[in-house]
Amino acid sequence: MSVSSKATSFSLYYYRSCPFCAYTRSAMKHIDIEVEERDIARNPAYREELIKGGGRAQVPCLRIESNREVRWLYESQDIVHYLQRHAAQSAEHNQTL
């Protein structure tokens, strides 16, 4: 069962040949969290979204939308740590319900 939060959604901007993106995508599978994947090499519109929203075409980049606010997080280690913390907090919250 995937951990997800109705108040928060995630999109990962990446391209397949990027080793940092591969690391991030692999970690996401182990964390078991819902993240929409957006390949900027296959879809130029995703690349434009990344540049417009995040300010640069660097991947991997996690777009975090929560409570109508958008945050852009770069760096594979930072993304993985953020998702691990989010999954742990969501799991704790679900246990208290």
pLDDT for 32 equals: 82
The model's pLDDT over 21-71, given as tens digits with 9 standing for 90+, comes to: 999 999 999 998 889 999 999 999 999 999 999 999 999 999 999 988 999
Could you tell me the pTM of the whole model? 0.86
Q: What CA–CA distance (Å, rounded) separates 89 from 32?
A: 13
Residue 1 pLDDT exceeds 70:
no
Residue 7 pLDDT exceeds 90:
no
Residue 50's nearest CA partner among 85, 2, 23, 18 is 18
Residue 95 pLDDT exceeds 80:
no
pLDDT for 91 equals: 73
pLDDT for 18 equals: 98
Q: Domain 8-92's class?
A: alpha beta
